[in-house]
Amino acid sequence: MATVGVVVGVALGSAAPASAGPGEDVLRPGEQLTAGQALLAPGGEHVLVLQPDGSLGMYALDDVVRWSSGHGVPGATLTTDAGGDVRLVAPDGTVVWTTATGGSDGTLRMRDDGDLVVERPDGTTVWSSGTTVVPSTLVGPGRLEPDDLLASPDGRHTLAVDPVAGLQLHGPDGAVRWTPPQPVADPATRSSGAAPAGRSQAATAAAQPATTLELRADGNLVALDADGDAVWRSRTSGHGPASLVLQDDGNLVLLGPDGEPVWSAGTAIGPAALEPGAELAAGAILGSPSGHLGLRVEEGALVASWDGAPFWSSPTDAAVGVRLQEDGDLVLLDAAGAPFWGTGTGGHPGARLTIEETAVLLMSPEGEVLWQAEAPESVAPSGVPVSPVPTGPQPSDCALVDGPVTAADVVRTRSGISVHPCLADALDALVAAAAADGVELGGGGWRSPEQQIALRRAHCGPSDADVYDKPASACSPSTARPGSSRHERGLAIDFTSGGRSLTRGSAAYAWLVEHADAYGLENLPGEAWHWSVDGS
């Protein structure tokens, strides 16, 4: 966290009159922060910095921007007035940003849970940034009760205890990917493991929903109904003290005292691509972003499945792995490591295998589909378009793109990023220029409305009010309302370098700051990774 560390160092060494004290978590009425000063949560894991550009940025130890006030004005100061209104004020007196909490007699506080709040003297919250960090781990002995939540560190997966529906693990698109398996009448045949990934809620829900999840001191994970009766057990007693972790790949894993897994829900979503020269071993999986579609080698064949139900399989029974050859041919490997079946797509060096929401696609660097296995309409639900219909001819001027577009309206660039056609050439030129300077850029571009809604549920909250009404800045991380995201128009890219999201201290971010404008891209303040045609 080099960038923030330098700024916090300035803050903790400052001693300006009427400023928050060094290392304090509170900005009281009459106090102020100036550029380089900060509020530090008591535990030291979250910091609010008044940045040199005059904007507020909240950071965590992973150097990810959790929240930003948006565009700033250099020289601005942050103040809390006598009435409790917190304002970011430009040198000319213009109010750049405010909490609009005048009359509350409140104070601004940076909490340990990652939430920035204005509190009344009695402790009630009158304003919040909505950036509370949901835990990803339950340490035993411990319980999850109605309305409790675990979330993966990236926010894409949630384990929620709904008072009515019960315990449910939700994937990136909000679909239920796991619930405690249904108990059966005969205890001898009762399942002791996890339900398969993707099994429907109806198929796995207990007769009475599990409304409490209890991780006991002996390491046993137990789901209880409203009467306190056990409806499911992980049968891992003797492995305590244990920890239940919801991972970024979507798998719910119980770790023993040595940190090794002793139980898993089997809900991991694999990577969405296989690069040239890479191999996929038997048992490993590639998965679509939502996790519904998977590709793996099992029982000697390459199998594509939807929620665990196969819809395509290679005509083989001796495969132990699959390799994407450098020449573009996807081949199955026998026990000796020799290819014995392939897609017949050689002659296309640089081809890449990608797992999209409803299809497995082997694509040339130019975007040509060389081979595919598409989920039929009888398998994929009606809400997921199998073959999107273009909305019509697309404008060549990005300024004329005024709403979301379909998957059929975007193009995949040579860099593998899907964007609107108006942006494709400029993006390819930008990525090539960065590579020539030794900077590797990748990332994600176009996003479907369904994906945007799923992200809002993960980042903003589970209710429809959270998804459709909550302002973007109240989500963690900030996420645009459905229909308003530049990603839905194919006009924004979340850049990565070396497979990781950009941070302000990275060489890739510095390169983009210097060069991106020449290719028509602007940065969204507070999100080092997000660049779009208009900076929003």
Q: What angle do CA 164, 169, 172 make, to 5 degrees?
A: 120
Q: Are 144 and 138 in contact (CB under 8 A)?
A: yes
Instruction: Look at residue 455 and tell me if it is in a domain.
Output: no
Same domain membership, residue 8 and residue 57: yes
Same domain membership, residue 213 and residue 122: no
- Cα→Cα distances 47→151, 252, 270, Å: 21, 30, 33
Tell me the DSSP string of 322-386. Answer: EEE-TTS-EEEE-TTS-EEEE-S--S-TT-EEEE-SSEEEEE-TTS-EEEEEE--TTTS-TTS-S
The domain containing residue 161 runs over which residues?
137-264
State which of 342-356, 474-488, 498-512 shows the largest mean pLDDT.
Answer: 342-356
- Number of Cβ within 10 Å of residue 482's Cβ equals 18
Domain count, the chain: 4
What is the CATH classification number for the domain harbouring 35?
Answer: 2.90.10.10
Same domain membership, residue 281 and residue 326: yes
List of residues 6+ apart from 122 with CB closer than 8 A: none
Same domain membership, residue 517 and residue 428: yes
Instruction: Look at residue 452 and tell me if it is in a domain.
Output: no
Same domain membership, residue 148 and residue 108: no
Tokens of 56: 């507020």
Evaluate if residue 137 carries a pLDDT over 80. Answer: yes
Tokens of 171: 């994937």
pLDDT digits (tens, 9 = 90+) for 314-359: 999 999 999 999 999 999 999 999 999 999 999 999 999 988 878 8
DSSP three-state, residue 2:
helix
Bridge partner residues of 68 (DSSP)? 57
Same domain membership, residue 149 and residue 253: yes
Evaluate if residue 364 carries a pLDDT over 70. Answer: yes
Q: Which of 400-404, 428-432, 461-465 has the lowest mean pLDDT?
A: 461-465
Evaluate if residue 109 carries a pLDDT over 90. Answer: yes
Residue where a domain stops, chosen among 128, 149, 168: 128
CA distance 318 to 100: 67
Q: Are 132 and 45 in contact (CB under 8 A)?
A: no
Same domain membership, residue 342 and residue 217: no
Same domain membership, residue 352 and residue 304: yes
Same domain membership, residue 259 and residue 289: no
What is the CATH classification number for the domain harbouring 512?
Answer: 3.30.1380.10
Evaluate if residue 449 carries a pLDDT over 80. Answer: no
Provide mean pLDDT across the span 204-213.
Answer: 72
Instruction: Look at residue 383 and tell me if it is in a domain.
Output: no
Tell me the DSSP string of 18-32. Answer: TBPPTT-SEE-TT-E
pLDDT digits (tens, 9 = 90+) for 274-328: 999 999 998 899 998 778 899 999 999 999 999 889 999 999 999 999 999 999 9
The closest of 488, 479, 444, 443 to 458, measured between CA atoms, is 479
Same domain membership, residue 123 and residue 9: yes
Evaluate if residue 195 carries a pLDDT over 60. Answer: no
Residue where a domain stops, chosen among 264, 289, 316: 264
List of residues 6+ apart from 500 with CB closer than 8 A: none
